[in-house]
């Protein structure tokens, strides 16, 4: 370790400031106690600190791994232009038994409307009902995930206790459920063939689905 520290000093490297939970590694013991450590850091030369003065290493929360993912932001986030929302029938709705009931009731309501185009009336009724149902039951998937990740980060900052460990476990389970829904949503938008084996790669699907709206800017990296 002394040689490693000497090498860091010799190269003139300085630590990049971090944001988020202090610890980046967790060991869960069988006796329901935990060991937490900060094992991961980002180092940069003085020139790089001058070139990217606002760079921050973000300690992200993990819903499964014992190591927290790290995200290095080189620049401040830019505001993205908003686009008109397009209605899509989300594949993740099919996993919810209530979806069929919403569609059935909306279709029957559309058939009762006085219209020269009953099929269009039924489709419009389904769209309206599904949008309301989605807003009430699912809301904004990305915001729910961000909220759960923030809750997880807050729990990781607290001192370990049986109650905190229980809340961590429950929050991770709930977060994984919403991550699966987000994965299905972006997979549908990307319109790509996907192999059944493998882990979630939502960022990949998100990039492919919205590539035509984005500029080539390197903002950060894992």
pLDDT per position as a tens digit, 146-203: 888 888 888 888 888 888 888 988 998 888 888 888 887 777 766 555 544 445 555 5
Domain boundary among 105, 122, 137: 137
Residues 146 and 66 in one domain: yes
Q: What percent of the chain has pLDDT over 70?
A: 80
Residue 157 lies in a domain: yes
Which of 10-24, 63-77, 194-208 tops mean pLDDT? 10-24
Q: pTM of the prediction? A: 0.44
Count how many Cα atoms sit within 13 Å of the Cα of residue 140 in the half-sphere of its side chain. 5
Residue 211 DSSP one-character state: G
65: confidence class by pLDDT, cuts 50, 70, 90: confident
Count how many Cα atoms sit within 13 Å of the Cα of residue 53 in the half-sphere of its side chain. 1
Residues 112 and 185 in one domain: no
Which of 26-40, 70-84, 95-109 tops mean pLDDT? 95-109
CA angle at residue 112 from 109 to 113, to 5 degrees? Answer: 95
Residue 67 lies in a domain: yes
The 10s digit of each residue's pLDDT in 21-34 is 888 888 888 887 88
Res 64: pLDDT: 75
Residues 112 and 191 in one domain: no
Q: How many helices (H) and strands (E) does the chain have?
A: 7, 8
Number of domains in the chain: 2
Residues 105 and 67 in one domain: no
- Is the sign of the CA dihedral 47, 51, 56, 62 positive or negative? negative
Res 211: pLDDT: 54
Contact 217, 77 (CB under 8 A): no
Q: For residue 130, give the 3-state DSSP assignment.
A: helix
Residues 112 and 216 in one domain: no
Residues 48 and 148 in one domain: yes
Res 188: pLDDT: 73
Residues 59 and 26 in one domain: yes
Quote the CA–CA distance of 220 and 222 in Å, as a whole number.
7
Res 196: pLDDT: 45
Quote the CA–CA distance of 102 and 69 in Å, as a whole number.
39
Residues 34 and 132 in one domain: no
How does the average pLDDT of the chain come out, rounded?
Answer: 79
| Residue ranges making up the domain that contains 212 | 11-77+140-221
What mean pLDDT comes out for the span 63-75?
82
Contact 122, 145 (CB under 8 A): no
Residues 24 and 120 in one domain: no
With a cut of 50, say whether residue 106 has pLDDT above it: yes
Residues 176 and 195 in one domain: yes
Q: For residue 208, with 0-12 CB atoms within 10 Å meaning exposed, 13-18 middle and 19 or more buried, which class applies?
A: middle
Q: Which of 44-58, 66-80, 95-109, 141-155 has the lowest mean pLDDT?
A: 66-80
129: confidence class by pLDDT, cuts 50, 70, 90: very high
């Amino acid at each position: 370790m002394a040689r490693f520290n000497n090498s860091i000093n010799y190269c003139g490297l300085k630590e990049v400031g971090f944001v988020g939970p202090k610890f980046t590694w967790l060991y869960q013991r069988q006796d329901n106690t935990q060991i937490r450590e900060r094992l991961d850091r980002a180092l940069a030369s003085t020139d790089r600190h001058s070139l990217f003065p606002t760079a921050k290493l973000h300690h992200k929360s993990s819903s499964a791994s014992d190591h927290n993912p790290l995200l290095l932001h080189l620049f401040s986030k830019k505001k993205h232009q908003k686009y008109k929302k397009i209605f899509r029938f989300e594949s993740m709705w099919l996993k919810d038994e209530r979806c069929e009931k919403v569609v059935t009731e909306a279709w029957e309501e559309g058939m009762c409307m006085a219209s020269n185009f009953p099929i269009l009336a039924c489709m419009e009724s389904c769209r309206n009902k599904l949008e309301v149902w989605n807003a009430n039951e699912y809301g904004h998937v990305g915001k729910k995930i961000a909220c759960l990740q923030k809750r997880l980060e807050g729990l990781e900052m607290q001192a370990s206790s049986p109650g905190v460990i229980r809340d961590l476990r429950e929050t991770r389970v709930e977060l994984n459920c919403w991550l699966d829904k987000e994965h299905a949503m972006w997979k549908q938008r990307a319109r790509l063939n996907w192999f059944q084996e493998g882990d979630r790669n939502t960022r990949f699907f998100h990039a492919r689905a919205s590539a035509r709206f984005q500029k080539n800017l390197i903002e950060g990296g894992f």
